[in-house]
Structure 1
Amino acid sequence: MPFATTDDHVKLWYEEAGSGQPIVFVHEFAADHRSWELQMRHFGQRYRCITYGARGYPPSEVPEKPERYSQDRATDDIAAVMNHLGIDKAHVVGLSMGGFATLHFGFRHPTRALSLVVAGVGYGAERDQQAKFRGEVEAVAKSLREEGMEAFAGKYAYGPTRVQFENKDPRGFAQFKKELGEHSALGSANTQLGVQGQRPSLYDLIDQMRALTIPTLVLTGDEDWPCLSPSLLMKREIPSAALAVMPNCGHTINLEDPDLFNRIVGDFIVQVEAGRWPRRDPRAMTASITGMR
């Protein structure tokens, strides 16, 4: 099996499809590398596509201590996979936890990103929600440790921003829930404690956002309630960002509506490749509503 090794000696399993400009897909907390299969097939017809399992997600290695997991490590693990494959620059596409890692990749490794797709990002990001979110992180980790992965999946899969997926595609949802139940309870608990629970608020990263010039697509479902306001924040503060909202969609947008997701992301990458992705005109950022004052 193919593995890349990180700077702190953790083995990450990866797979590839296609050839051309590289695209790296970074998965969310409740998914793994398998969740990008529909994107690997679609984009693999024109690009070199790579996806991998985050640390804590078999067949990637599962470090035993939460201290081996953090937002910075999750971000730098993208670079580790690229380094192993000899990739200097790539389009990086991430959902939720993977979207946070993608955004931070733009902050920490700006010369290595051709573009960023920051999808489904915002859970716990607002300052007045952080204490509540961290409390839920502790509850999730406790459930994982005490009840195990399968019992946890039977509850977590039916969250308020995932029922849309079940209603729209029961067969796809059943596969998602089954694969969630196959994860490592230890790895998932450590990911919650080390990555999810300790990451900084987006509202504390505004200076970094304003300095970001990499072509960026912010993408969210319109029923992914915790991500709507943070998505507007990123659109407003990142001068190279556009915002796309997928109608009647929850959180797991690449699985829930893969055709629309692939079309939006594909059009974005084509514009970037053509050198036609704009930066915001400063005249659009005025205090005046009409521009007359």
Structure 2
Amino acid sequence: MTATNDKVNKSRRDLLVKASVAASVVATGGMLNQVQAATRNECGIPGKVEPNYVKPPKQVPAKEGVIELPGGAGLYYWDTGGTGPAILLSHPGRGSALTWPYQQPVFAAAGFRTIAYSRRGYFGSPAGSKEDRGNYADDILALTNHLNVDKFHILGLAAGGFAVSDFAVSYPEKLLSMVIACSLFGRWDQNIEERSSFILSKGFHDLGPEFKELGPSYRWAYPEGVEEWLNMYKKSQGDGVRHGQPAKSKITWEKMRAANIPTFFVAGGADLYQPPSMMRAAAIELPNSETLVVPEAGHAVQWEQPELFNRVVLEFFKKHS
């Protein structure tokens, strides 16, 4: 009798577990995808184990240059070269081509031609005329044409995601895949603006950049890394002359779905600007996209937890190369 009851109870438990998993998949729009499944258990940080925070590794040799644009503007870039698939890195608002010291040697060692650039007015890139600001997509096209890169992967972090979305809807045939990290992805409307104002307290924008960009766990555990990041941020601002840029195209979810570009959304679990819930809302608009939340990381996920970030991003790019 006891054995029979145990079997009945076990069957009930199994059914409840299956039902719970199914409900979770439905509730998240079916977003328990392959990348999440592959990394979900690996991303958890045991309570007494701190992530392996280290100084940026030695950079591999890279060609540097500045391409000239109309109106006296220019784009500084570095390019590791090579014959492998190309990756273009699009930096955040508090960054530049200097944002990627943890990615440059790792991506190159994985066989990718890795390229980063500074948008107009950031490190090494003349802002040019205020009357001729160009646009995100055509600047990227000018750079990749200059470097003889036909099709490539693209990675946009924070404000860099706006340039990615503009390029994706303007020149979708050029992209192999795209990774969007901690970014609104170029979609901005009244609803998003109201929600963003709601989650960021009054006076938030007057706080120090390291508080806004880096997660509290990282700042507590690795102050040396915070100093390194601040140095990068200060250098990235260039001479401070910046006119801003418009998008070439009107960015809509309909256009993004029509472009049909493999997309991977990466969110920082402690990101104050774009929390995981905001990134999930974007991912749901692209049903075939993949997603990952990096625990404890803030808005600079590629800097705070580069080992995990590099691994999952490279896996995604290799799958679509």
**Structure 1-normalised TM-score?**
0.74
Q: Name the amino acid aligned to 2:226.
A: F
2:121 counterpart of 1:56:
yes
- Rounded Cα–Cα distance in structure 2 between residues aligned with 1:132 and 1:237: 18
Partner of 2:257: 210
- Residues 165 and 54 from structure 1, CA distance in 2 versus in 1: closer, same or farther, beyond 3 angstroms? farther
5 Å matches for 1:14-93? 14-19=77-82, 20-45=84-109, 46-63=111-128, 65=130, 68-69=132-133, 73-93=135-155
Partner of 2:241: 187
Q: Which has the higher helix share?
A: 1
- Unaligned stretches of 5+ in structure 2? 1-63
Partner of 2:167: 105
- Rounded Cα–Cα distance in structure 2 between residues aligned with 1:157 and 1:263: 25
SS at match of 1:243: strand
Partner of 2:220: 167
- Residues 122 and 37 from structure 1, CA distance in 2 versus in 1: closer, same or farther, beyond 3 angstroms? same
Instruction: State the Cα distance separating 1:200 from its structure 2 match.
Output: 10
Q: Name the amino acid aligned to 2:262.
A: P
Instruction: State the Cα distance separating 1:76 from its structure 2 match.
Output: 2.5
Instruction: State the Cα distance separating 1:80 from its structure 2 match.
Output: 1.5
Q: Name the amino acid aligned to 2:258.
A: A
Partner of 1:286: none
Work out whether residues 212 and 239 of structure 1, in 8 Å CA contact, stay in contact via their aligned partners in 2.
no
Work out whether residues 23 and 48 of structure 1, in 8 Å CA contact, stay in contact via their aligned partners in 2.
yes
- Rounded Cα–Cα distance in structure 2 between residues aligned with 1:30 and 1:21: 27
- Rounded Cα–Cα distance in structure 2 between residues aligned with 1:180 and 1:14: 17
2:312 counterpart of 1:264:
yes
Partner of 1:246: 294
Give the RMSD, CA atoms, in angstroms.
Answer: 3.1
Instruction: State the Cα distance separating 1:208 from its structure 2 match.
Output: 2.0
- Residues 160 and 21 from structure 1, CA distance in 2 versus in 1: closer, same or farther, beyond 3 angstroms? closer
Work out whether residues 136 and 248 of structure 2, in 8 Å CA contact, stay in contact via their aligned partners in 1.
no
Q: Name the amino acid aligned to 2:123.
A: P
Work out whether residues 75 and 120 of structure 2, in 8 Å CA contact, stay in contact via their aligned partners in 1.
yes
Instruction: State the Cα distance separating 1:176 from its structure 2 match.
Output: 1.3
**Structure 2-normalised TM-score?**
0.68
Query: Which deviations, in whole Å up to 9, do the C-alpha atoms of 1:72-91 show, x marking residues without a partner?
Result: x1232222210110111110
Identity of aligned residues (%): 26
Q: Name the amino acid aligned to 2:150.
A: D
Work out whether residues 125 and 230 of structure 1, in 8 Å CA contact, stay in contact via their aligned partners in 2.
no
Work out whether residues 126 and 230 of structure 1, in 8 Å CA contact, stay in contact via their aligned partners in 2.
no
2:266 to 216, 219, 223: 219
Instruction: State the Cα distance separating 1:52 from its structure 2 match.
Output: 1.0
Partner of 1:284: none
Partner of 1:285: none
Query: Which deviations, in whole Å up to 9, do the C-alpha atoms of 1:241-266 show, x marking residues without a partner?
Result: 11111111111011011101101101
SS at match of 2:241: helix
Q: Name the amino acid aligned to 1:187.
A: V
- Residues 25 and 229 from structure 1, CA distance in 2 versus in 1: closer, same or farther, beyond 3 angstroms? same
Query: Which deviations, in whole Å up to 9, do the C-alpha atoms of 1:145-198 show, x marking residues without a partner?
Result: xxxxxxx8x82222175444423432222111122223236335x34xx56xx9
Partner of 2:284: 236
Please identify, of 118-127 and 243-252, the stretch whose mean Cα deviation from structure 2 is larger.
Answer: 118-127
Q: Which has the larger radius of gyration?
A: 2
Instruction: State the Cα distance separating 1:220 from its structure 2 match.
Output: 1.0
SS at match of 1:115: strand
SS at match of 2:103: helix
Instruction: State the Cα distance separating 1:199 from its structure 2 match.
Output: 11
- Residues 8 and 91 from structure 1, CA distance in 2 versus in 1: closer, same or farther, beyond 3 angstroms? farther
Q: Name the amino acid aligned to 2:125.
A: S
Q: Name the amino acid aligned to 1:55.
A: R
- Rounded Cα–Cα distance in structure 1 between residues aligned with 2:127 and 2:292: 35
Work out whether residues 209 and 234 of structure 1, in 8 Å CA contact, stay in contact via their aligned partners in 2.
no
Query: Which deviations, in whole Å up to 9, do the C-alpha atoms of 1:206-244 show, x marking residues without a partner?
Result: 222332311111111112144223321222122431111
- Residues 133 and 267 from structure 1, CA distance in 2 versus in 1: closer, same or farther, beyond 3 angstroms? same
- Rounded Cα–Cα distance in structure 1 between residues aligned with 2:257 and 2:96: 31
